[in-house]
Structure 1
Amino acid sequence: MSVNESSSAIIVTAAILVIGDEILSGRTKDKNIGYIAEYLTNIGVDLREVRVVPDVSEEIVAAVNALRGRYTYVFTTGGIGPTHDDITADAVAAAFGVAIDHDPRAVAMLSERFSPEELNEARLRMARIPAGAELVANAISKAPGFNIGNVYVMAGVPAIMQAMLDVIGSTLQTGAKMLSDTVRAGLREGDIGGPLAEVARAHPEVSIGSYPFWSETGPDTNIVVRSRDAEKLLAAMAAVKTMVAGEKQRSL
């Protein structure tokens, strides 16, 4: 199947690997997971797992190898900057068992932004790319990401990551999009737990979830129904609405 070709017969999966001590310490609040998840959902790629690991080579290598064998794509964020603790590129090279060195293409990209005097040893770290990898352009700061195998390595800075993801997105194979619809129940989650389970059992090929929240009138619940099949989604939604109406009537 060609790149970016969609088919209702295939399911394309992905994982995100967030790399960085600053995320685990709470000093930096991740803003990339939600963005990537929504982006992938919109193009027909199912995000199945997210991991966060520290700036420790062994941890990154183990996570990359575990995830790339399980999912169609792996997207990493963080750890490709100019400082000593930016070790993602080296760890990914180790995971694939390939060499890493300054890539002339990446050096040329950096030279578009930095003068020869500014392109010091630290900045040149951002041009170190695993052998055999393809570069991912970075329109904002010029320092590229890269793709090797089914792993896409991106920056941790949200604006730069988003620019890289826009470049990557058009190259991905995509599958059937997950459709969804939502019902605001106007009831507490505990009031509909039993009846909602019955609806779920009657529609086993549809995903049904309940999400409690506090509204202006008190506790409430959103019921979200998901399916790749539009007809099955409509049938399940009708059953959910009927159930909610019945429970509201009983509560009067």
Structure 2
Amino acid sequence: MSDKIRAFILIIGNEVLSGRTHDANLAFLANALNEIGIQVGEARVIPDDEKIIIDTVNYARAAFDYVFTTGGIGPTHDDITAACIAKAFNRPLIRNEEAVAILKTHYPSTDLNEARLRMANTPSEAILIENPISKAPGFQVENVFVLAGVPRIAQAMFENLKPRLKGAAPVISKTISTNLGEGLIAGPLGEIQNKFPDVEIGSYPYFGDGKTGVSLVARALCEDDVDLCLEEIKVMIESLGGKTIFSV
């Protein structure tokens, strides 16, 4: 597929890698970005490690149009994302006065301690991302958008930064499923893929309720290409004696 605008999603946090926290941000961001014509080309989950964060951010911001990070911008000692982003861009980490003013609207002066003020630290010249839930803002540096790890806060931040993003045509995705196994359809499916180079075909086996089969997902920028591809897949399934279970 051509004319792609591509994004990289970076999930930061030891708690995700340990399994203590279930990540919900990747699915949300991938779906929300695709709706505005931005395709997620890669995603990684990494620990709260300064060198790994810096190296990954520098790789991603050079290789992708947009980078979205989640996690590591809270008030505790292990929230190091802001400092790492500053180092990745070779900018000083500052106490952002605009962010401080926002925190002052949320916390009584007696509760706005140094730990909470750490949430106002950003790289210099960063553009804030509004957080309507807990007020502590995210921020943007060039093509990197830094969001909270808490899913409902990350989602609210994304809604506020979305007008800054420029997308292309959204990807069209349609599915057809069959009771045939992957081994039987693998060869013919490969031939169909070669015939439709602008369509990405994914094969996903399913098991449950005594039923087995494969869901075949066709994705492309052009809906006509997707429809033509799925029609050939349907003909292939029927020629092998299979049934089309459902199509979307």
TM-score tier by shorter-chain length is over 0.9
Match of 1:205 among 198, 207, 232: 198
Percent of residue pairs bearing the same amino acid type: 43
Equivalent in the alignment of 1:27: 20
Match of 2:111 among 92, 108, 118: 118
Q: Is the 8 A contact 2:180 2:242 kept in 1?
A: no
Equivalent in the alignment of 2:246: none
Secondary structure of the 2:145 match is: strand
AA matched with 1:66: Y
CA distance in 1, matches of 2:20, 2:13: 10
CA distance in 1, matches of 2:2, 2:192: 26
Cα distance per residue 1:88-136 (max 9 Å; x no partner): 0000000000111111110111111101100000000000011010000
Deviation at 1:153, TM superposition (A): 0.1
1:72 aligns with 2:69: no
AA matched with 1:228: L
Secondary structure of the 2:139 match is: strand
CA distance in 2, matches of 1:236, 1:61: 42
Q: Is the 8 A contact 1:9 1:175 kept in 2?
A: no
Deviation at 1:249, TM superposition (A): 5.8
AA matched with 1:107: V
**RMSD between superposed Cα atoms in Å:** 1.4
CA distance in 1, matches of 2:242, 2:106: 66
What TM-score, normalized to structure 1? 0.93
CA distance in 2, matches of 1:10, 1:133: 29
AA matched with 2:228: A
Equivalent in the alignment of 1:48: 41
CA distance in 2, matches of 1:9, 1:57: 35
- Tell me, which stretches of 5 or more residues in structure 1 are unaligned? 1-7
Secondary structure of the 1:79 match is: coil
Equivalent in the alignment of 1:82: 75
- Tell me, which stretches of 5 or more residues in structure 2 are unaligned? 244-248
CA distance in 2, matches of 1:139, 1:47: 26
AA matched with 1:28: T
1:182 aligns with 2:160: no
User: Do the aligned partners of residues 249 and 146 (structure 1) sit closer, same or farther apart at CA in structure 2, a change above 3 Å counting?
Assistant: closer
Secondary structure of the 1:112 match is: helix
Secondary structure of the 2:67 match is: strand
1:157 aligns with 2:150: yes
Q: Is the 8 A contact 1:9 1:176 kept in 2?
A: no
Q: Is the 8 A contact 2:178 2:242 kept in 1?
A: no
